[in-house]
Amino acid sequence: MPYSDADREQATLTLTPLKDHVKQNTLKFITGQRPLSEFDAYVKEPGRQRHGQVCRFGQQGVQGVRGQEVGRTTAAAGLLP
């Protein structure tokens, strides 16, 4: 597993407000409480800025998994002790 307990905790602290913000505004757009003409502004809102943190966190996890796969493949090929 590429994520430590601290990584998972940080992800939860980052994702929870982002998910809440997205859910609340999605509902507003669907129900017409917020016009679709505001969608571009919504994407730039501070609550959505955490999206970059989430993407970086995911990329780090993928890189960790790839590193583990490389290690297993190399070991299986007899290239690592």
pLDDT in tens, the chain (81 residues): 567 788 788 878 888 888 888 899 999 999 999 999 999 998 888 766 666 677 777 777 677 666 665 444 444 444 444
On whether residue 23 sits in a domain, the answer given is yes
pTM confidence score: 0.57
Residue 78 lies in a domain: no
- Domain presence at residue 54: yes
Q: Is residue 53 in a domain?
A: yes
Say how many domains are in the chain.
Answer: 1
59 in any annotated domain: yes
- Virtual CA dihedral for 53, 58, 61, 63, nearest 10 degrees? -100
Range of the domain at 33: 5-69
Asked whether residue 29 is assigned to any structural domain, the reply reads yes
* 81 is a domain residue: no
Task: Please state, as a whole number, how many other Cβ atoms lie within 10 Å of the Cβ of residue 39.
Answer: 11
- Residue 80 inside a domain? The answer is no
